[in-house]
Structure 1
Amino acid sequence: MKKSFLLALLLAIVSIAPVKADEGMWLPMLIKRLNQRDLQKMGLQLTPEEIYSVNNSSLKDAIVSMGGFCTGEIVSPNGLMLTNHHCGFDAIRENSTVEDDILTNGFWAKSYEEEKPNEGLFVSFLVRMEDVTDQILPQLEGIESESERNAKIAELSDAISDQAEEGTHYDANVKSFYVGKEFYLFVYERFTDVRLVGTPPSSIGKYGGDTDNWMWPRQTGDFSVFRVYSGPDGKPAEYSKDNIPMKPKHFLPVSIAGLEDGDFTMTFGYPGSTDRYLTSYGVDQAIAKKNPTIVEIRDAKLAALRGDMKASDAVRLQYAAKYAQIANYWKYFIGQTEQLNQNDVIGTKKRLEAQFQEWADADETRKAKYGNALSMIEEGYKETDNNVISGTYVIEGGLVGADIILFTYRMARQIEAYMAMEAGIDKEETKDNLKIATAEFFEETNIPTDKKLFAVTQDLYAKNVPIDQQPQYMRDLGDKYNGKWDKFADKVYSKSFFTDKNTLTAFIENPNEKKFEKDMMKEVADDLFEIYRGQAQQNAEGRELITKGNRLFQEGLREMEPNKDFYPDANSTMRASFGNIANYKPRDGVTYDFYTTLEGVMDKEDPNNDEFIVPAKLKELYEAKNYGQYAAKDGKLHVNFISTNDITGGNSGSPVINGNGELIGIAFDGNWEAMSGDINFEKSIQRTISVDIRYVLFIIDKMGGAQNLIDEMTLVKTRSVKDMNAKAPLPEAPRERMNEKKEPEPAMN
């Protein structure tokens, strides 16, 4: 990594002000190189080696990527893990039945035997990361084609990853940064036996629902509890009753000492993606075309789901996670569009682009290298502009418009291979796997509901996409059904053998090639994929211009401002961010405090609104003020808080950590006024919303009666002076602030 980049990073971190957000999601290997004295001045009392180390236990060893879509943190010597309720939502749903609806009622395991396995869920611990730029970048010189460049990167990355995995049980991959200018190797240890330990009722874990989503003030108990298991040898193993709770290299102590305005905060996690270097051309396309199209399609899908879910508890459980996922990003894109306009992000981008162009044109060498970067990007967006709406529809309203479409396409490819196989053991095994996949799909899918989704998305697709960009079946059949796509849905679902478990199972048992080729749902799926592939080809030249232009633009920006903290966009790799507890002013005359309390839960209570129901037991505890050791100094129970940390999707479940390396909260959301933040960081108003760890423990203890889980954790009950943004270096934190040695609990299964 360039020295100027490290210097910029150091200056950015040590100059943090308690009233401004602190931009940047930093790779942990860089933090290790920073000066400990400067970090102490801002309130961080851990040494670099305690934060990130390859050879010794460090903070990074307590942080996991959960399922590749969220973050979790280990909080006990027996593999106990905290994350968000919405991260554990699908596992909670899968363990719920109409008779034992833990999604609605909550669940707390009082012993290891009661913990619930979750097929397919895994967590990954980062073992190490390594800069491999010098092994890749020199071999890309002279390659002009983006497809050839990507192929060469993939070839080299695979070789490096394979070498890292050789002789180990680790997984490895190489990630690209700055649009293919730097490359890092990441080595992980993946554990696949992850069991559900506890969850609050959804009335707590999802309090406020879609209404409060992305909003502050907030009063949501967005957490769930899992445990990671290993084989008896301590290594990852598939689920077995013989497995034992894994013994982490590090776990987080939990502070219940309380928070104060200005306190130092650090997040560690796996942010999914940001687009901070997006140009004004990309922002304009998002505002004008892509975002509104996504919102329109998802709005229709949510409306179709709501009725069926309300009418049937079984359907509600089947679709709870899917509905939540659709709704989350439905509101996200509404908010992002609004705030891109409100915060004048296009204007901000254009001013930077004008500065960049002036800098590039001022020197002949720079002009030759960077002078055409922005014009290439502009031309690329113009070439892709015509396919944005249809491209969004082919995915949102087509391939994933109804679950049956993607299922059919994938199943059809496997059936084709199956029919071509010679009789034998392999064919019998393939047939069994096809039957298993069929059973799993229909267990998770309510066909009448799926048909409604199909009809409504087909209708929108036909109305809003030009006919020459529609799939072939839609062009052929539009006149026949006279725009009545519900009738088309009736026909397809009644005729296709892919839409019924028994007929599909029977077909797998006795396949018929003629019947296979004429199946209506297969035709729909094939035609949609044909459109998808065709648009990818049409957009190839434009995307190549955008990619090349962006690579030059980012490289030039770093050269133009060598003292600025240019960090790479998030890409699902471990990052840390630094900030402070801080309030903010969203608009004139309004100031939001940095925390909310249980009083706010009660103020919003509405027994007639599913989003704002308060459980009877929680009301009893509130009325009795029975908060135990989790109450704040003023006697109130704090629920959520905000800080200036820089996070995005994938950071859900990330620990919020104080200066001593103690857990003080679990991050779960951003704020509405800064929803343009994935594209342009909003320094004065961008906030991370977290659930206060005291509320988490209160719910586990007082609501759930799971004292066994509290006993597993190392609770820190007093604030150290080092928490309070010290102005000068202080003595090193005592060792008991790190993981105290304690005898592990005996395995119970």
Structure 2
Amino acid sequence: MTLRSRLALLALTLLTTFSARADEGMWLPLLLKQLNEADMQKKGLKLTAEQIYSINQGSLKDAIVQFGGGCTGEIISDQGLLLTNHHCGYGQIQSHSSVENDYLTKGYWAMTPGQELPNPGLTATFIVRMEDVTGQVLAGIPATGIAEAQREQLVLQNSQRVAQAAVQGTGYQAFVRPMFNGNEYYLFVTEVFQDIRLVGAPPSSIGKFGGDTDNWAWPRHTGDFSLFRIYAGPDNKPAPYSPANKPFKPRHHLPISLAGVQPGDFTMVFGFPGRTNEYLTSWGVDEVYSLSNPAKIAIRDAKLKQLDTDMKASDKIRIQYAAKYASLANYWKKWIGENRGLRKLDAVRVKQEREAEFQRWAESGDAARRAAFAGLLPELKQQYATVRDYTLARDYVSEAALGVELVAYANSLMAVYELTTGGIKAPAAELAAAVEKAKNGSVRFFKNYSAPTDQKVAAQLLPLYANGTPAALLPAYVKQLQKQYATTGWNAYVAQLYAKSRLTTEAGAYAVLDEVAAGKPDALRQDPAMQLAAAIVSTYRTAILPTYNVATDQIALLQRTYVAGLRLQQPERKFYPDANSTLRLAYGQVAGYEPADGVQYDFYTTLDGIMEKADPTNPDFEVPARLAELHKNKDYGPYAYKGSVPVCFIATNHTTGGNSGSPVINGRGELIGTNFDRNWEGTMSDIMFDPDRVRNITLDVRYMLFVVDKFAGAGHLVKEMTLVGAPDSGTEATPDKKLKKVKVKRKKA
């Protein structure tokens, strides 16, 4: 039997297999009926799979959006009100902020529709439907005997053809994504809205409470939410921003439960998780653990320390670098926790044991099995050994060299630079177009750029780049700089670089680009920042990328075969595809955990904990006076629980980056919170899941309502929402019972 025939039979056996380990998995909503419905209902789900994902009627999926390109959001009113994380909306909040109107620090609340702020470029994407199109994508592509790059090109062509056919004559968009490392392919038809307006955001002292100190940690007390609104054209369809647009009317919006959560309660996280590598081999795990993560952690550590110093010294720089700092810090701390988790799980050894079992299975089979799988793991080991130095060099380019903003900006001008080199004069129109595009990018770049700060960063990162890159893969230009400045050091070079380059200011960069357009290419070619960037990028393209691509292409092919083999080896197991920014559902239960011997964490935190952490001398733990007043007076409204306001809770759902902003939903389909983080002990779950340690951290929806209503005085927003299940209301939402809105009495702020 051929490998493809075996996989075809496997699709049938999956319908009757056992579940994955407890609460592990990011499941495709399309397959919930076959794979998960019974297990979910056994654990507390009161809905059917059809009520979660349907293309014929409104369902939970119709309240879920991909927010921008990297987060999730949920619709919480019939007027397109969208809830996501504060850190997901951070860039938009920053874009509207200035020293005079510092919405990052003070927060922002639109008290009228006219005060809702547009955000050019921000989108909200709904999934209309999804479909298994494996047969169409792989049609005509040989299963073996074809180079991986050629296969990928054919897959891309077929995928584009399938996607175009799916939306022809509609206003929808579509794309195809691989699953199980390219063993299966799924079509996603989407509706993308372009007019998304900022409605409300708490001050950073609420939305980022705990800051980097508490990031990736539990217990947590962060009010990590922001509110936006989707606007549509007169036909309720996507439309570019216009003052005439109206609030979007969704097919479904999530009712909000005031009943709270208890240990053991069923929970689901519905969203767009970014990337996981659950089926990575021991060599892949070792590469992450011992090579890539340590290098990236050290580089970001140096950069973050310098940015932190300058941001504390200047409000202007703080606002300019707020979003960039948060983005850098997020994965810096995640990688630290990930390595700790992998070490604690002894992940490399565990993977090796599983591979030994796979190898025995492969070698004990018939001739076809042995031919397909027996030589697989030794070849993977060899490819990882081949690519190791190139992976490290690639990391140093992306994190250290291009972590210097001046170098990154010069790299963004590479298209203009290349049109002025090579001995062939570019057509004037082509050069003019490239210059104009570069100018447009320059406006965005310089808005949030400080050359003095970047110079200090460069003095930290360029030596790390030069010393950390394997010598054979370091540009000759950089080696010459090492010799030239061996006595005076990198600081001397960096000082000259920033003194002589005209690309450190917007005016200087524009002048350079104008001179290039006027026929003076040396203005760019001889700029020292451009020379440094060109040398780094040229070496990357010619000496690093070719070998890296060949090896990683081969690893991709072998990994695809390995995953196919795992599914054949374990026919009793339900497999879920790695996350790839497509809509997924994870489910679990509310639960505390034991992070270490003798330590027990409860499942929730409260406003009392915020006051216990309050420290006016530490920016991470500042508490707004209004919040302290509400706590002092115990003015909690209907959002109280056991004499305080619940802030966050944890559960066993399997999440990752991209799940930020995802709704956490109870068994009745009601919103109980918004996912915003994982615990530090569980960050290795992108590679290896441990049900005893992995917890997703959720903002309790009652704290969001409390902040909006009692703190901000924006009760008009709460009135839009459908509140159900209050402890004293006697109502609940069930599939066959119409939701009753809870009347909430409020005092005027």
User: Please, what TM-score do these two structures have when normalized by structure 1?
Assistant: 0.92
1:49 is aligned to 50
CA RMSD for the aligned pairs? 2.5
**Counterpart check, 1:708 vs 2:716:** yes
2:671 is aligned to 663
Q: Once the 2 structures are TM-superposed, how far is the Cα of residue 461 of structure 1 from its aligned partner?
A: 1.4
Q: Once the 2 structures are TM-superposed, how far is the Cα of residue 140 of structure 1 from its aligned partner?
A: 2.1
The answer as to whether partners of 1:572 and 1:650 remain within 8 angstroms in 2 is yes
1:298 is aligned to 300
The answer as to whether partners of 1:83 and 1:225 remain within 8 angstroms in 2 is yes
Q: Secondary structure at the match of 1:453?
A: helix
1:383 is aligned to 386
2:92 is aligned to 91
Matches within 5 A, 1:212-223: 212-223=214-225
Higher relative contact order (CA 8 A, sep 6+): 1
The alignment covers a number of residue pairs equal to 726
- State the identity %: 45
Q: Distance in 2 between matches of 1:712 and 1:651?
A: 25
> Which stretch shifts more, 251-260 or 537-546?
537-546
Q: Once the 2 structures are TM-superposed, how far is the Cα of residue 223 of structure 1 from its aligned partner?
A: 0.7
Q: Once the 2 structures are TM-superposed, how far is the Cα of residue 466 of structure 1 from its aligned partner?
A: 3.6
Matches within 5 A, 1:11-50: 21-33=22-34, 39-50=40-51
1:332-391 residue CA offsets vs partner (Å, 9 max, x unmatched): 111111111111111211111111111111113311111111111101111012223222
Q: Distance in 2 between matches of 1:168 and 1:43?
A: 39
Q: Secondary structure at the match of 1:619?
A: helix
1:594 is aligned to 603
1:423 and 1:552, CA in 2 relative to 1: closer, same or farther beyond 3 A?
closer
2:508 is aligned to 503
1:480 is aligned to 484
Q: Once the 2 structures are TM-superposed, how far is the Cα of residue 571 of structure 1 from its aligned partner?
A: 0.4
**Counterpart check, 1:312 vs 2:337:** no
Q: Secondary structure at the match of 1:179?
A: helix
2:564 to 555, 564, 567: 555
Q: Secondary structure at the match of 1:156?
A: helix
**Counterpart check, 1:371 vs 2:378:** no
2:746 is aligned to none
Q: Distance in 2 between matches of 1:9 and 1:706?
A: 48
1:150 is aligned to 152
Matches within 5 A, 1:603-614: 603-614=612-623
Gaps of 5+ in 2: 1-6, 743-749
Equivalent AA in structure 1 for residue 451 of structure 2: I
1:635 is aligned to 643
Q: Distance in 1 between matches of 2:322 and 2:191?
A: 31
Q: Secondary structure at the match of 2:686?
A: coil
Equivalent AA in structure 2 for residue 668 of structure 1: F
1:7 and 1:101, CA in 2 relative to 1: closer, same or farther beyond 3 A?
farther
Q: Once the 2 structures are TM-superposed, how far is the Cα of residue 5 of structure 1 from its aligned partner?
A: 5.8
1:491 is aligned to 496
Q: Distance in 2 between matches of 1:36 and 1:465?
A: 50
1:646 to 634, 648, 654: 654
1:560 and 1:80, CA in 2 relative to 1: closer, same or farther beyond 3 A?
same
Q: Once the 2 structures are TM-superposed, how far is the Cα of residue 431 of structure 1 from its aligned partner?
A: 5.2
**Counterpart check, 1:272 vs 2:270:** no
2:475 is aligned to 471
1:646-696 residue CA offsets vs partner (Å, 9 max, x unmatched): 110100000000111110000011111222111010122211110100001
Q: Secondary structure at the match of 2:259?
A: coil
1:65 is aligned to 66
1:557 and 1:48, CA in 2 relative to 1: closer, same or farther beyond 3 A?
same
1:122-176 residue CA offsets vs partner (Å, 9 max, x unmatched): 1111111111100122422144211111111111111112222322222211111
1:744 is aligned to none
The answer as to whether partners of 1:295 and 1:330 remain within 8 angstroms in 2 is yes
1:745 is aligned to none
Q: Secondary structure at the match of 2:553?
A: helix
2:536 to 502, 517, 528: 528
2:352 is aligned to 350
Q: Distance in 1 between matches of 2:527 and 2:36?
A: 66
Q: Distance in 2 between matches of 1:615 and 1:328?
A: 24
Q: Once the 2 structures are TM-superposed, how far is the Cα of residue 484 of structure 1 from its aligned partner?
A: 2.1
Equivalent AA in structure 1 for residue 601 of structure 2: Y
1:103 is aligned to 104
Q: Distance in 2 between matches of 1:319 and 1:224?
A: 20
Q: Distance in 1 between matches of 2:225 and 2:127?
A: 23
2:77 is aligned to 76
1:397 is aligned to 400
The answer as to whether partners of 1:264 and 1:723 remain within 8 angstroms in 2 is no
1:126 is aligned to 127
Q: Secondary structure at the match of 2:244?
A: coil
The answer as to whether partners of 1:8 and 1:563 remain within 8 angstroms in 2 is yes
Q: Distance in 2 between matches of 1:36 and 1:3?
A: 22
1:161 to 154, 160, 163: 163
1:477 and 1:688, CA in 2 relative to 1: closer, same or farther beyond 3 A?
same
Equivalent AA in structure 1 for residue 611 of structure 2: M
Q: Distance in 2 between matches of 1:432 and 1:295?
A: 37
Gaps of 5+ in 1: 725-730, 741-749
Equivalent AA in structure 2 for residue 625 of structure 1: K
Q: Distance in 2 between matches of 1:629 and 1:10?
A: 46
2:253 is aligned to 251
The answer as to whether partners of 2:175 and 2:189 remain within 8 angstroms in 1 is yes
2:586 is aligned to 577
User: Please, what TM-score do these two structures have when normalized by structure 2?
Assistant: 0.92
